[in-house]
Structure 1
Amino acid sequence: MKTNDALYPIREVSNLTGVNSITLRAWERRYGLIEPVRTEGGHRLYTLEHIEQIKAAVKLTEEGIPISQVKARLSQAVPQVKEEIHQGDYDYLSKIVDATLQFDLDSLSSELDQLFQDVSDKALFEILKNASQLLAVHSSETINTFWESQVLPRLYTRLRFSTRHVSLHASKKLWLQAEDINGSIVVLVLAAIRLADKGFYCVISPNPQKNNELLLNSIKSSHCQGLVVVDENQKLDKTHWQGWVTDHPSLEFHFFTERADSFDMGNVLQCHGYNL
């Protein structure tokens, strides 16, 4: 571990990975899956690489691999994850997060310029999504503002190029919002870019609206033909949105969430799920 690696306490790691603290401790004690850094007081701290390993372990268990066998398989899963996070041996994610936390404008600008130039769209989206989620755990408006001030102009430029081939008169327009107020505008724009590549034009709302009547008014007023919900924090209210789909059969419903293929949202003709 590098001395300047960002470190995260177990409660924040639990929020990022969906694995509760008790389970993380059990995985460490019984199976030796993750070896966190220890403070002098014995508190566990985790690096970005630990977080990616935990996510890889979760995927293996969901594929039916017993937890007792995950450590042996993890060595095969982690390189696959790293291919999405690293370009060669260069760890863009750590560099970007560290530069943001240190408010190092020159380094962050340089890292982002190189990132946008060097990596594929898939890897770019994965890195920026993870960076936004990791920075969000600090609950600092100053950090988030600094981060967004650098990444959003670059993403809006990418979005503009992605929508150049979309006919604004012929394309479907979709109202796009986060599932909850803690959603990142960065992740919303990433979702809009992915949908633009499929021929959709998104109206991005930074303020999520859960009141159905007000939401419907917004959709109609903006001449949208559907709704997109981005579930960044694994809090998708399936019951609520199933009711929305039933009540508004003429509107398409798109949603981004972890493991979207595991969500049965009913009418497949108007519901479209995407893995976040």
Structure 2
Amino acid sequence: MNNVKSVFSIKDLENLTGIKAHTIRIWEKRYNVLEPMRTETNIRLYDLANLQKILNITLLHNHGYKISKISKLSEERIPELVNEIISDKSVKNHAISSFKMAMMNFDQTLFVNTYDKLLSEKSFKEVFYTIFIPLIEEIGYLWQTNTISIAHEHFISYLIKQKLLINTEKLQLQEPTNTDKVFVLYLPDNEIHELGLMYLNYEIQLNGYKTIYLGETVPINSLKDVKKYFDNIVYVCYTTVEPNKTAINDYVRQIKREVLTDDSEMWFIGRMIESIDKSLVDDKMKIFTSIDNLVQRL
């Protein structure tokens, strides 16, 4: 059975485009820009073609085109105009829209073509900062609001991971130029949200440091094992949902007691840092509110 989501509510459209549902209704009623289906109880439903169209209309509208003018354009002219006006100013929104459509349609070719076009104009670092990070944040919200399924999230995440691995592998061919410390990157027990950590691994290597990438759901005992092989370790812990807010401070105390007993440090990043008791932070611990914030510290 095909359980892929291909029909969307007006709330889904609001979540995917940033245009309020009330505004979408007005655009429909006044300008006939969309043609929703209707349930027996008169609830609006939209297909993928409607989603593609509203994403294009949103880009045009954000670029200064009035909805009254957009509504007079032919179905063929709207995507043509979108391609004509794409500039450095609007490329971010257009690329994110294209990646969203690739995700919704499970369209690997569209993802690759969009990525390759971006990479012809920007460095991988620029693409990740300006496109992938906002996209990842938005995907998290779309999943939480049931606009997309876990299959959509896994599909797009895997493709982004592929690009990260390719670019990280290029750096691994080079010898580290900064040898005063070694970075050990990991996700704590039951934490599986890996993309942010993978990008930090890329950035830290880009800055000339050796990294030991441990990945998902790493127990504290494994961190202690690494200490047998390296000195001056900086552990980087990316905590998105685990340990949860009721367990995070006990986790920090255990880290301080069992891991940070010598010249090592612990850097925390991720959503759960908001629940860390600031009184636990000392000279062996640092908390970073964003990837950019951490990278600047390197």
In the alignment, which residue of structure 2 is the partner of 1:89?
90
In the alignment, which residue of structure 2 is the partner of 1:275?
290
| Residue in structure 2 matching 1:252, options 265, 277, 281 | 265
- 1:93 alignment partner AA: I
Q: Which runs of 5+ in 1 are unaligned?
A: 14-33, 50-85
Q: How does 1:206-245 map to 2 (within 5 A)?
A: 206-209=215-218, 211-217=219-225, 219-220=226-227, 223=230, 225-233=233-241, 237-245=248-256
| 8 A Cα contact 1:178 1:231, kept in partner | yes
2:111 equivalent to 1:108: yes
Q: How many residues align?
A: 211
TM-score (norm 1): 0.57
| Residue in structure 1 matching 2:135, options 106, 131, 134 | 131
Residues 135 and 272 of structure 1: CA distance in aligned 2, closer, same or farther (over 3 Å) = closer
Deviation at 1:190, TM superposition (A): 0.8
Residues 244 and 269 of structure 1: CA distance in aligned 2, closer, same or farther (over 3 Å) = closer
In the alignment, which residue of structure 2 is the partner of 1:160?
169
Task: Give secondary structure in 1 for the equivalent of 2:261.
Answer: coil
TM-score (norm 2): 0.53
Deviation at 1:105, TM superposition (A): 1.5
For the residues of structure 2 that align with 1:123 and 1:260, how far apart are their CA atoms?
26
For the residues of structure 2 that align with 1:132 and 1:259, how far apart are their CA atoms?
17
For the residues of structure 1 that align with 2:127 and 2:10, how far apart are their CA atoms?
21
2:281 equivalent to 1:266: yes
| 8 A Cα contact 2:96 2:131, kept in partner | yes
For the residues of structure 2 that align with 1:231 and 1:166, how far apart are their CA atoms?
29
Task: Give secondary structure in 2 for the equivalent of 1:118.
Answer: coil
Q: Give me the CA root mean square deviation.
A: 4.4
Percent of aligned positions that are identical? 11
In the alignment, which residue of structure 2 is the partner of 1:59?
none
Residues 254 and 9 of structure 1: CA distance in aligned 2, closer, same or farther (over 3 Å) = farther
For the residues of structure 1 that align with 2:122 and 2:12, how far apart are their CA atoms?
26
Q: Which has the larger radius of gyration?
A: 2
Residues 200 and 270 of structure 1: CA distance in aligned 2, closer, same or farther (over 3 Å) = farther
Task: Give secondary structure in 1 for the equivalent of 2:176.
Answer: coil
| 8 A Cα contact 1:177 1:205, kept in partner | yes
Residues 230 and 117 of structure 1: CA distance in aligned 2, closer, same or farther (over 3 Å) = farther
